[in-house]
Amino acid sequence: MNPVISVNHLHKAYGTTVAVDDISFNVAPGEIFGIVGPNGAGKSTTVESIMGLREPDSGNVSVLGLNPHTQRSAVSQRIGIQLQQAALPDRMKVWEALDLYSSFYTNTIPWEPLLEEWGLGDKRNARFVNLSGGQKQRLFIALALLNDPDVVFLDELTTGLDPQARRSTWDLVADIRDRGKTVVLVTHFMDEAEALCDHVAIIDHGNIIALDTPARLIEQVDDELRVTFEVDGPFSAEILSSLPQVSDISRSGRRWTARGDARNLLSAVVIALEQNAVRVTNLQTERASLEDVFITLTGRQIRA
Ligand SMILES: Nc1ncnc2c1ncn2[C@@H]1O[C@H](COP(=O)(O)OP(=O)(O)OP(=O)(O)O)[C@@H](O)[C@H]1O
Ligand SMILES: [Mg+2]
């Protein structure tokens, strides 16, 4: 299948600041492609170059087979954009924003159903300034979908939202993909990328330092799973240490930890405990996360 987006050796500097050094990747149709990395890594510069909003110093970008710089208006009709710095005039009403944005496109879908779908049906007459953070985000998503785009760019969509609003926004993003659109999601939240993205490019200092599915990125740094639990009643660690799937069993206070290969540890442990009638409480699993991938690759925390 032809990629929807193809970026080859993109390079962009602002004066002496190299924002994007040498970035190449492809985005497949219908996927959520994540671009993650710390502040200033070059994420927004990369996506804004793809959207035709910034001119690269060198390299090639193609979107839906078009060149976003020489064919900018054709591209803009087929992409949906939510920019990191998005804002609307405080006094603008929700319906006025939708009406205004509709006028930018040759083909639009009716905005009334969009408002309902994104839970803003009763907010059509509300002013922008009076919307909650989550409602503003949903409005920006609705605006980005007005032209029924093939590709949607979301740059730091959930920054500034509380954890609950972030999670409900994740469902909305998955919905966009489920409607057959390709989504490019820029975020510095590793948990967001891990939960949503089919592929993730980790960017640091203007270069891609890793690109794969979240699961494969995590497997590469750490394929160990830890199953921890407490025991109510008698328990002999031998039950688990004798299992081929368990590489180690240890105890710290009341909690036991069994370690082993992430692919088959959990069911082996649970079955052995069950067969030996061990009464277990508070069983949990722990695994490396995308955050750990970043730390392993760079030696620092993402928000350092
Ligand atoms: N218009 C500009 N003029 C000068 N420098 C810029 C401009 N835009 C970005 N930069 C610089 O380029 C680098 C990359 O910025 P960019 O906005 O692409 O990063 P980012 O990964 O999106 O960061 P953030 O997570 O903070 O949004 C930074 O050092 C930034 O200061
Ligand atoms: Mg940015």
**Ligand 2 centroid from CA 39, angstroms:** 7
- pLDDT at residue 259 is higher than 90: yes
Instruction: Tell me the C-alpha distance between 140 and 51, whole Å.
Output: 17
pLDDT digits (tens, 9 = 90+) for 202-224: 999 999 999 999 999 998 888 88
pLDDT tens across 83-93, in order?
877 789 999 99
Cα-to-centroid distance, 153 and ligand 2 (Å) = 12
The CATH topology of domain 5-219 is Rossmann fold (3.40.50)
User: What's the CA gap between 260 and 236, in Å, rounded?
Assistant: 18
Q: Which atom of ligand 1 is nearest to the CA of 186?
A: 22
- Choose among 111, 291, 261, 263: nearest CA to 194: 291
Q: Is residue 304 scored above 70 in pLDDT?
A: no
pLDDT at 193: 95
- Measured in Å, residue 279 CA sits from the centre of ligand 1 at 54
Q: Give me the phi and psi of 217, to 5 degrees please.
A: -60, -45
Ligand 1, atom 16: closest residue by C-alpha: 42
Angle between helices 214-221 and 290-298 (to 10 degrees): 50
Percentage of the residues of the chain whose pLDDT score is greater than 70: 99
The whole-number pLDDT of residue 35 equals 97
* Average pLDDT, rounded, for the chain: 93
User: What whole-number distance in Å separates Cα of residue 216 and Cα of residue 234?
Assistant: 39
Q: Which pLDDT score is estimated for 222? A: 83
CA distances for 23 relative to 11, 183, 201, 248, 262, angstroms: 7, 19, 10, 41, 32
Distance CA 31, CA 153 (A): 12
pLDDT for residue 158: 86
Domain boundaries, the chain: 5-219, 223-287
Ligand 1 atom with the shortest distance to the CA of 203: 21
Rounded to the nearest 10 degrees, how much is the dihedral formed by the CA atoms of 27, 28, 30, 32?
-40
Q: How far is the CA of 180 from the centre of ligand 2 (A)?
A: 26
Q: Which residue from 231, 204, 164 is spatially nearest to 301, judged by alpha carbons?
A: 204
Using CB distances shorter than 6 Å, the residues near ligand 1 are 14, 17, 19, 37, 39-45, 84, 188
- Please choose from 14, 157, 192, 294 the residue to mutate so as to test ligand 1's pocket, defined by most ligand atoms within 8 A of CB: 14
Question: Where does 223-287 sit in CATH, by number?
Answer: 3.30.70.980
Q: Dump pLDDT digits (tens) for 11-67.
A: 999 999 999 999 999 999 999 999 999 999 999 999 999 999 999 999 999 999 999
- Cβ-based neighbour number of residue 89 at 10 Å: 11
Q: What are phi and psi of 126, to 5 degrees?
A: -75, 150
What integer pLDDT is reported at residue 86 of this predicted model?
77
Instruction: Name which residue sits closest to atom 7 of ligand 1, judged by CA.
Output: 14
Q: What is the mean pLDDT of residues 108-124?
A: 92
Whether the per-residue pLDDT at 236 is higher than 70: the answer is yes
